[in-house]
């Protein structure tokens, strides 16, 4: 153990961050990507964050930061930095062990590090853990004599847990696993906390944060990384930001929060390079030299890029919920779980979905009342690897539709055909082309009008629904996309999409609900809402 200082100098800035930077640059490499395996060099901006994150009390040597929040734009390698800190916390001299002859702090490794890389329900925190396994694989190969006994499993690519010789683990966890292992965490990474919007992910964050206070001598702490959030979604990132503002304003005590947020200055016109490019250079900081800012600017100007999302992801500015197509609060008000459409009544059905890796939905609408309910909703598993193997159960989908035909009087079915052409053709052969209609959702103008009518029905209270959780979730997750079309008064129109192309937040039930509503409108206009006349029985004599 290093000797103790006799001159504490309580106001002096001291940190183990410099030790952390040297250790990371000595032993670790870049994680997955184009420069995987190359030596990892920490730029000045991220080095400053590390130094602040490992600041110590100048008298006791204890950590001053219990909770750190790193907010940077998309592509700033936040997950890679988090992965490097996981490795340092697992193997490096990350806790105070005294002072050297010059009065600088000396570190020691953790006795039993237990580190958790938290995943959202969409498996996003795999980004951090994937960096960890690549880095530790490199460390074992090049510095195995210094760090013997690291066990990543069969390979870095398939690793699901890292065991450390002498005791200790690195664990990737989902919300279902976060409450396990008895709360032994010494360090936890919450990656992309703007995505922590569902009750289970917020509860996961709270559970693990509570666990971090259990091992006093280990001085546990947590790291949140994120781009900025959509205001009003009640994400963990938004809650942390509100906490930081309350601390700054003196409304609450500082519990050891480091809030490191870099935001671009306001850009009035995203299509004006004279405004946009300086803003991008500012927000990307030291990374501006190696990021392709021209390509980012081009992506921002793409017609299908939502401006609110562009400001959040690339300018790191808190967005608004205005990008959301539907008001989830209003949707909740429209729930009527007690209503059940009587057997034999006329209904319309909407169908939308992917065949693989996503979701598929059938939604019914009662013609007389406008009440909606899912006939079926099938979703790929949240685990990314399992989702890659998922395929919608075509026979089960058809059975659900057939059951609807057997229970109610189905007068219209509007079905989006991509990847389901053969199935829909079979439906038409079974129930008739006048009933089952291909309704292509990629047609911007018709789709925009249908969506406007659907939203108007919600606002006006003309629609109700059964309160199905999955249906409500898909409604809430649908975001607007410029339809590149205008209505008859010249006003711009919109359609819906996921919040990003590869997003695991599904919207298929929202689209099926819209198609079902459009089928109802057309059926009513065609006079199909009238009760079917009963045929007279003819008695032969």
**Cα 53 to Cα 47: distance, rounded to the nearest angstrom:** 10
**pLDDT at site 335:** 96
Sheet holding 162-163, edge to edge: 162-163, 169-173, 114-118, 187-191, 221-226, 67-71, 257-261
Out of 123-127, 342-346, 384-388, 495-499, give the one with best mean pLDDT: 342-346
**pLDDT at site 190:** 94
**Cα 282 to Cα 297: distance, rounded to the nearest angstrom:** 14
pLDDT exceeds 80 at position 237: yes
pLDDT band, very low/low/confident/very high, at 327 (cuts 50, 70, 90): confident
Q: What percentage of the chain reaches a pLDDT higher than 90?
A: 67
Cβ proximity of 257 and 245 under 8 Å: no
Mean pLDDT of 48-56: 98
pLDDT exceeds 50 at position 393: yes
**pLDDT at site 124:** 42
**pLDDT at site 264:** 96
53 CB burial (10 A radius; 0-12, 13-18, 19+): buried
**Cα 146 to Cα 91: distance, rounded to the nearest angstrom:** 10
Helix axes 17-27, 78-91, angle to 10 degrees: 100
**pLDDT at site 120:** 66
In eight-state DSSP terms, residue 261 is E
Phi first, then psi: give them for residue 95, nearest 5 degrees. -125, 150
Please state, as a whole number, how many other Cβ atoms lie within 10 Å of the Cβ of residue 220: 26
Mean pLDDT of 525-531: 84
CATH class of 328-525: alpha beta
**pLDDT at site 125:** 42
**pLDDT at site 321:** 53
Tell me the CA distances in angstroms from 60 to 14, 63, 377, one per residue in order. 11, 9, 57
Helix or strand holding residue 377 (H, E): strand 371-379
**pLDDT at site 488:** 81
Mean pLDDT of 196-214: 86
**pLDDT at site 532:** 56
**pLDDT at site 482:** 76
Q: Which of these ranges, 274-288, 363-377, 483-497, has the smallest mean pLDDT?
A: 483-497
pLDDT exceeds 80 at position 410: yes
Mean pLDDT of 371-399: 91
Phi first, then psi: give them for residue 386, nearest 5 degrees. -70, -35
128-176 residue pLDDT tens: 999 999 999 999 999 999 999 899 887 777 788 899 998 999 999 876 5
Residue whose structure tokens are 């059926």:
523
Residue scoring higher pLDDT (500 or 144): 144
The average confidence (pLDDT) of the chain is 89
155-165 residue pLDDT tens: 777 788 899 99
pLDDT band, very low/low/confident/very high, at 91 (cuts 50, 70, 90): very high
**pLDDT at site 177:** 55
pLDDT exceeds 60 at position 361: yes
Phi first, then psi: give them for residue 188, nearest 5 degrees. -140, 140
**pLDDT at site 454:** 96
Q: What percentage of the chain reaches a pLDDT higher than 70?
A: 92
Residue 20 tokens, joined: 């952390």
Q: Is the dihedral of CA 251, 73, 118, 93 positive or negative?
A: negative
Tell me the CA distances in angstroms from 304 to 481, 498, 508, 536, one per residue in order. 6, 11, 18, 56
430-473 residue pLDDT tens: 999 999 999 999 999 999 999 999 999 998 899 999 999 999 99
Mean pLDDT of 361-375: 98
Q: Given the DSSP bridges, would you call strands 114-118 and 169-173 parallel, antiparallel or unpaired?
A: parallel
Mean pLDDT of 356-373: 96
Q: Given the DSSP bridges, would you call strands 409-415 and 371-379 parallel, antiparallel or unpaired?
A: unpaired
pLDDT exceeds 60 at position 123: no
**pLDDT at site 502:** 66
Q: How many Å is the Cα radius of gyration of the chain?
A: 28
Helix or strand holding residue 49 (H, E): helix 44-53
Taking 3-state DSSP, the helix, strand and coil percentages for the chain, each rounded to the nearest 5, stand at 40, 20, 45
pLDDT band, very low/low/confident/very high, at 214 (cuts 50, 70, 90): confident
**pLDDT at site 320:** 60
pLDDT exceeds 50 at position 537: no
**Cα 482 to Cα 464: distance, rounded to the nearest angstrom:** 27
385 CB burial (10 A radius; 0-12, 13-18, 19+): exposed
pLDDT band, very low/low/confident/very high, at 3 (cuts 50, 70, 90): very low
Q: Which of these ranges, 12-21, 136-145, 227-236, 370-379, has the smallest mean pLDDT?
A: 227-236
Residue 436 tokens, joined: 């089952």
Q: Which residues contact 58 (CB under 8 A, 6 or more apart)?
A: 8, 9, 10, 11, 12, 13, 14
**pLDDT at site 322:** 56
**Cα 508 to Cα 319: distance, rounded to the nearest angstrom:** 24
**pLDDT at site 40:** 96
Fold of 14-261: Rossmann fold (3.40.50)
Residue by residue, DSSP assigns 463-499 as: -EE---HHHHHHHHH-EEEEEEEE-TTS-EEEEEE-S
pLDDT band, very low/low/confident/very high, at 309 (cuts 50, 70, 90): confident
Q: Where are the domains of the chain?
A: 14-261, 273-323, 328-525
């Amino acid at each position: 153990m290093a000797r103790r200082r006799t001159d504490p100098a309580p106001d002096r800035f001291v940190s183990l961050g410099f030790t952390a930077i040297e250790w990371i640059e000595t032993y670790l490499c870049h994680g997955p990507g184009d420069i995987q395996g190359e030596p990892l060099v920490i730029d000045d901006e991220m080095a400053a964050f590390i130094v602040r994150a490992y600041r110590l009390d100048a008298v006791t040597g204890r950590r001053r930061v219990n909770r750190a929040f790193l907010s940077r734009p998309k592509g700033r390698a936040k997950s890679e930095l988090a992965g490097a800190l996981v490795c340092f916390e697992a193997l490096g001299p990350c806790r105070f062990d005294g002072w050297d002859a010059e009065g600088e702090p000396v570190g020691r490794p953790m006795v039993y590090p237990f580190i958790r890389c938290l995943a959202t329900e969409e498996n996003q925190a795999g980004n951090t853990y994937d960096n960890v396994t690549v880095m530790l694989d490199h460390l074992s190969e090049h510095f195995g004599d210094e760090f013997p006994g690291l066990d990543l499993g069969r390979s870095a690519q398939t690793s699901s847990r890292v065991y450390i010789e002498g005791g200790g683990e690195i664990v990737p966890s989902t919300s279902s696993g976060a409450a396990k292992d008895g709360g032994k965490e010494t360090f936890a990474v919450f990656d992309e906390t703007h995505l922590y919007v569902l009750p289970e992910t917020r509860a996961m964050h709270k559970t693990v944060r509570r666990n971090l206070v259990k091992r006093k001598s280990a001085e546990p702490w947590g790291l949140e990384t994120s781009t900025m959030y959509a205001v009003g979604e009640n994400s963990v990132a938004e809650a942390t930001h509100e906490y930081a503002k309350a601390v700054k304003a003196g409304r609450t005590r500082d519990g050891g929060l480091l809030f490191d947020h870099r935001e671009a200055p306001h850009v009035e016109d995203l299509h004006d390079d004279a405004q946009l490019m300086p803003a991008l250079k500012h927000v990307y900081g030291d990374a501006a030299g190696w990021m392709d800012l021209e390509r980012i600017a081009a992506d921002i100007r793409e017609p299908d890029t939502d401006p609110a999302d562009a400001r959040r992801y690339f300018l790191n500015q808190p967005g608004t919920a205005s990008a959301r197509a539907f008001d989830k609060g209003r949707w909740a008000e429209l729930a009527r779980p007690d209503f059940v459409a009587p057997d034999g009544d006329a209904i319309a059905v909407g169908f939308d979905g992917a065949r693989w890796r996503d979701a598929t939905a059938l939604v019914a609408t009662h013609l007389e009342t406008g009440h909606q309910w899912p006939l079926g909703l099938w979703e790929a598993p949240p685990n990314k690897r399992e989702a890659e193997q998922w395929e919608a159960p075509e026979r089960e989908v058809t059975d659900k539709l057939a059951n609807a035909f057997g229970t109610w009087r189905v007068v219209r079915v509007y079905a989006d055909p991509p990847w389901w052409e053969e199935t829909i053709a079979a439906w038409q052969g079974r129930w008739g082309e006048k009933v089952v209609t291909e309704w292509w959702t990629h047609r911007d103008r018709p789709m925009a009008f249908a969506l406007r009518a659907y939203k108007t029905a919600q606002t006006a209270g003309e629609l109700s629904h059964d309160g199905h959780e999955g249906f409500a979730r898909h409604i809430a997750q649908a975001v607007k996309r410029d339809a590149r079309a205008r209505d008859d008064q010249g006003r711009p129109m919109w359609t819906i999409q996921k919040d990003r192309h590869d997003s695991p937040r599904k919207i298929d039930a929202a689209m099926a609900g819209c198609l079902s509503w459009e089928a109802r409108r057309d059926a009513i206009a065609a006079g199909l809402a009238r009760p079917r006349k009963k045929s007279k029985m003819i008695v032969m004599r």
